[in-house]
Amino acid sequence: MDRELDELKAQVEPALRRRDLPTLAGLLYGTSAAIVSRLLEREDAADRAVLYRLLPREQALEVFELLDSAMRAELFVGLRHEDVARVFEELDPDDRAQLVDELPAGVARRLMSGLSAGERELTAPMLGYARGTIGRHMSTEYVRLQPQLTVGDALSHVRHRGHSAETIYTLPVTDSARRMLGVVGLRELVMGDAHVLVGDVMVDAHQVHATDDAEVAARSLVDAQLLAAPVVDGEDRLLGILTVDDASRILDDAEAEDAARQGASEPLRRPYLTTPVLGIVRARVTWLLVLAVSALLTVQVLDVFEATLEQVVTLALFIPLLTGTAGNTGAQAATTVTRALAVGDVRPRDSLLVAWREVRVGLLLGGLLGILGLVLGSIAFDFGLGAVIGLTLLAVCTLAATVGGVMPMLARAVGADPAVFSTPFISTFCDATSLIIYFGMATWILQL
């Protein structure tokens, strides 16, 4: 796939420079949507709009559905008004709802009001749910069965109604009031006896509530290895369907966000190489400033101990080693627990369990490093300094592991993103506390 993309790119770029539209159209024609979408993501906004307008109607829609959401909005704004209205009308309702989130409010309102009544009706339910809920991501185009149908009749119902459905592989079964009874897979209908009733072959549905957190709902679908799950309201009535490809996209975005925040920046939400340099700076600058300002704390801590430092300048040599080790230990715990929260392995109520595990892990790690620090410090300098370094390592590792483990739990408990309040803040916190512990130990042991 990479090779195909490279070959296409090598042929497209000279033609783009010559603005040779017929050649470009020929190159794109019949190329798979996956390749074309990746090509578009690698071009700048102007070239992207040129290439996109050359795609045949059907292929254009397929490509559009594969683009990142930020990229879709950008492309949309760059297209001519009539193209925009057409693409918007032809999008799947769930993709349309996603796009509305990304577009400038005025553009979104104008486009929504330009929709045909039928399409507007299909899109409206999603927009009724808050951002970040799974209701916003569901599709309202599904085929619903009733339990008293035979498998044979159900199959012909699917044939009649399935054309515009998001999926026909998972079919919700409801009573006449749309209340969920179960699901049946197309596989069961195709492989089954035509005379059996749908009610007898359906199984319990793995269903999600429209108001559920999108990430949690998406992960439950993927973890259960299903292709789709019905989305229901508070009374168990069918509202829509969530498909595995939409779930994967939600998880992908969530993971990009976690990974970025763990590294103290905001996710770019578009391919790295096509993000303007200023966009990258914007994603990082706030974090960097906040962390630098928090780090002023370390300056103040050291300021307090300046007299001690003047007495034994050698103490300064170990500052980066100790703060670094504390930061690493804290980051290890925070990363592990943030991940465990994301995949549902721990929940906020497990905070005490997590704290107790991390205390023990921290003691073991700190004990090991502390002994090393004691021995090496005693050999290279003297026993007093060795003892200060060893005991500091023991204390800071234990504290850092515990705080690193508990912080993400607290963040989740108060509804904040655990990734935000874990790694970057923990390393700053560890820097300051490890300095206090270090100089406290030095004052005590070396009697300064």
Q: Which of residues 232-291 bind its own copies (CB under 8 A)?
A: 244-245, 248-249, 252, 255-256, 258-260, 262-265, 268, 271-273, 277-278, 280-281, 283-285, 287-289, 291
Provide the residue type at 274 as one letter.
T
In the bound complex, what is the minimum distance in angstroms from residue 361's beta carbon to its own copies?
A: 5
If the CB atoms of residues 130 and 191 are measured against its own copies, the closer one turns out to be 191
Q: Are 128 and 136 in contact (CB under 8 A)?
A: no
Q: Nearest 5°: CA angle at 412, between 421 and 209? A: 140
Whole-number Cα distances in Å, 68 to 133, 138, 236, 311: 19, 17, 32, 59
If the CB atoms of residues 206 and 237 are measured against its own copies, the closer one turns out to be 206
If the CB atoms of residues 124 and 287 are measured against its own copies, the closer one turns out to be 287
Q: Which of 11, 32, 59, 69 binds its own copies (CB under 8 A)?
A: 32
Specify the pairing of strand 170-174 against strand 180-185. Answer: antiparallel
Provide the residue type at 47 as one letter.
D
If the CB atoms of residues 80 and 163 are measured against its own copies, the closer one turns out to be 163
In the bound complex, what is the minimum distance in angstroms from residue 323's beta carbon to its own copies?
A: 5
Task: Write out the binding residues for its own copies, residues 363-422 only, by CB under 8 A.
Answer: 364-365, 368-369, 372
Interacting stretch for its own copies, rule CB under 8 A, among 71-79, 92-100, 106-114, 346-354? 346-354
Q: Which of 58, 109, 360, 416 binds its own copies (CB under 8 A)?
A: 360
Task: Write out the binding residues for its own copies, residues 55-84 only, by CB under 8 A.
Answer: 65-66
Task: Write out the binding residues for its own copies, residues 80-139 only, by CB under 8 A.
Answer: none
Q: Nearest 5°: CA angle at 254, between 253 and 257? A: 85
In the bound complex, what is the minimum distance in angstroms from residue 274's beta carbon to its own copies?
A: 9
Contact mark string toward its own copies, 149..178, x via CB under 8 A: ------x--xx--xx----xx---------
Helix (H, G, I), strand (E, B) or coil at 239: strand
In the bound complex, what is the minimum distance in angstroms from residue 214's beta carbon to its own copies?
A: 14
If the CB atoms of residues 129 and 438 are measured against its own copies, the closer one turns out to be 438
Which DSSP state fits 130?
Answer: P
Beta-bridged to residue 230, according to DSSP, are: 241
Task: Write out the binding residues for its own copies, residues 198-237 only, by CB under 8 A.
Answer: 204, 206, 220, 222-225, 227
Specify the pairing of strand 180-185 against strand 208-209. Answer: unpaired
**Torsion angle, alpha carbons of 204, 208, 210, 214, to 10:** -160
Q: Which of 46, 130, 321, 379 binds its own copies (CB under 8 A)?
A: 321
In the bound complex, what is the minimum distance in angstroms from residue 53's beta carbon to its own copies?
A: 23
What is the C-alpha to C-alpha distance for residues 49 and 172, in angstroms, rounded to an integer?
39
Nearest Cα residue to 376 out of 364, 385, 367: 385
If the CB atoms of residues 235 and 303 are measured against its own copies, the closer one turns out to be 303
Residues 6+ apart with CB under 8 A from 274: 41, 42, 43, 44
User: Which bin fits 32, alpha (ψ -120 to 50), beta or left (φ > 0)?
Assistant: beta
